[in-house]
């Protein structure tokens, strides 16, 4: 343990002159508990500086207490400006909501809702009814329910169709891990089902499934097919199409990952992602996906498929533990409504609009951003990414605004994060880049103001 030298006479005098916590707190315009917390921290920091041999000015104590008070009063969860060029940035909350979804959340939050009330009969209803009809309409599924995220959807599907005492067949090439340590083998284990691996890491054939089904006759609850969302296996690879798997006479759970409903909107970038409608048409018992990735809605897990399979999931005890709240349901319903008009969905759902943004649009946005920042900014070519475990090979080339090459990029990034709202960029080739693809028109000035402030703070 490091030993400190005893304070000098001057430091000791300064220490003895420190006000009591209650005295400094009384000078702060804030609720008592908050004022006391800010005062205690300010005095502790002041004392530590004196003991370290530094000599902070006494008049700075009140200013520091007021700054700490503002910090303590500020919410931890804050809006940030995403200038990273990563569309589905998991650390930044993945998909931003459309205007329609934000308005729906606001309306649902104003008071009570008919969350589980059938307004026609006046009797208890189901929260799933608010989106089940839309999902049936948009995908062709017989029924649907929603839970609180994509991982929960897969776990519930496995538990409902297999569970303790039964087995789930899965290709070794699909035993994937996604962000946060979510591993398919562990999900199957949590469902209570036994896992039967078939094929190899790179090649799984139809006969591999057929042999497993024959060997485990009567014990197989389902076949689980998992989309390789966050990586791609290329070269000497083979897998069995969902249509073929559905012909084997065993329920198929198809985890398609990101939830593409926009194939009809004509966005080329989505052509390689599995569409919900295809898996439903193939005859999957349950199709699972996330709501906050390529679907462009709130965090949610969608399960859709046959009447019997959805009923089994709805009635499973886990379904209540995983249920979606009213605000997320409101946002999801509003998002799904937009998909009734694919062109409108492409315009108004931010994720789709970012994927579909053309070179001229991005160039104009980059020019506005560069001009608003002024000196210390220039337009360069960069590559944006989808992120969120979706389309890992897709590179979205376009213009970006690079900040001063003379400034320390780490210091610039820190200064950007200290803005209100924080601006999050990325460092590439020793410079901070602000990518207009993930900035709405309304956010350009916020990003520019943050850049001007950051460059002023760390000016060489």
Beta strand pairing call for 252-257 and 220-226? parallel
Cα separation, 290 vs 351, in Å, equals: 14
SS in 3 state form for 9-49?
HHHHHHHHCCCCHHHHHHCCCCCHHHHHHHHHHHHHHHHHH
Per-residue model confidence (pLDDT) at position 4: 52
Cα separation, 125 vs 73, in Å, equals: 40
Sheet holding 252-257, edge to edge: 143-147, 301-305, 286-290, 252-257, 220-226, 167-171, 194-198
DSSP string over 403-432? E-TTS-HHHHHHHHHTSSS-EE-EEETTEE
72: Cβ–Cβ under 8 A, 6 or more apart, which residues? 34, 37, 38
Cα separation, 54 vs 460, in Å, equals: 26
> What is the Cα 218 distance to its own chain's centre?
39
Contacts 24+ apart (CB under 8 A), 105-112: 105/327, 105/330, 105/331, 107/330, 108/326, 108/327, 108/329, 108/330, 109/327
Per-residue model confidence (pLDDT) at position 177: 86
Ranges under pLDDT 50 in the chain = 1, 9
Quote the pTM value: 0.90
């Amino acid at each position: 343990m490091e030993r400190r030298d005893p304070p000098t006479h001057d430091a000791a005098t300064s220490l003895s002159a420190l006000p009591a916590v209650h005295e400094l707190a009384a000078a702060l315009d804030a609720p008592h508990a908050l004022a006391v917390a800010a005062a205690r921290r300010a005095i502790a920091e002041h004392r530590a500086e004196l003991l370290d041999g530094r000599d902070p000015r006494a008049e700075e104590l009140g200013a520091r207490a007021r700054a700490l008070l503002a910090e303590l009063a500020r919410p931890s969860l804050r809006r940030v400006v995403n200038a990273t060029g990563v569309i589905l940035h998991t650390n930044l909350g993945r998909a931003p909501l459309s205007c329609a979804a934000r308005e729906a959340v606001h309306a649902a939050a104003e008071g009570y809702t008919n969350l589980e009330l059938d307004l026609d009969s006046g009797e208890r209803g189901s929260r799933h009814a608010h989106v089940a009809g839309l999902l049936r309409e948009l995908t062709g599924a017989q029924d649907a329910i929603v839970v609180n995220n994509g991982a929960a959807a897969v776990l519930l599907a496995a538990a409902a169709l297999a569970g303790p005492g039964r087995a789930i067949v899965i290709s070794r090439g699909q035993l994937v891990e996604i962000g946060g340590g979510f591993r398919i083998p562990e999900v199957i284990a949590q469902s209570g089902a036994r896992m039967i691996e078939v094929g190899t890491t790179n090649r799984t054939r139809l006969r591999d499934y057929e042999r497993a089904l024959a060997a485990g006759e009567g014990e197989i609850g389902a076949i689980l097919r998992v989309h390789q969302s966050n990586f791609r296996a290329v070269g000497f690879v083979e897998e069995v199409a969902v249509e073929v798997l559905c012909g084997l006479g065993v329920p198929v759970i198809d985890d398609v990952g990101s939830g593409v409903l926009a194939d009809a909107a004509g966005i080329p970038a989505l052509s390689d992602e599995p569409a919900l409608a295809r898996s439903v048409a193939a005859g999957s018992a349950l199709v699972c996906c996330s709501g906050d990735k390529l679907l462009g809605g709130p965090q949610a897990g969608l399960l859709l498929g046959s009447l019997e399979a959805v009923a089994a999931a709805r009635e499973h005890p886990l379904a209540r533990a995983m249920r979606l709240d009213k605000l997320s349901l409101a946002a999801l319903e509003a998002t799904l409504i937009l998909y009734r008009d694919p062109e409108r969905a492409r315009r108004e759902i931010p994720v789709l609009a970012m994927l579909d943004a053309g070179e001229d649009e991005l160039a104009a946005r980059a020019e506005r951003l560069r001009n608003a920042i002024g000196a210390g900014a220039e337009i360069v070519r960069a590559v944006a990414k989808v992120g969120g475990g979706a389309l890992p090979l897709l590179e979205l080339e376009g213009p970006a605004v690079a900040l001063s090459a003379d400034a320390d990029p780490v210091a610039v990034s820190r200064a950007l994060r200290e803005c209100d709202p924080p601006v999050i960029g990325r460092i590439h080739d020793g410079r901070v880049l602000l990518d207009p693809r993930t900035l709405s028109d309304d956010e350009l000035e916020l990003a520019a103001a943050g850049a001007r402030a950051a460059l002023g703070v760390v000016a060489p």
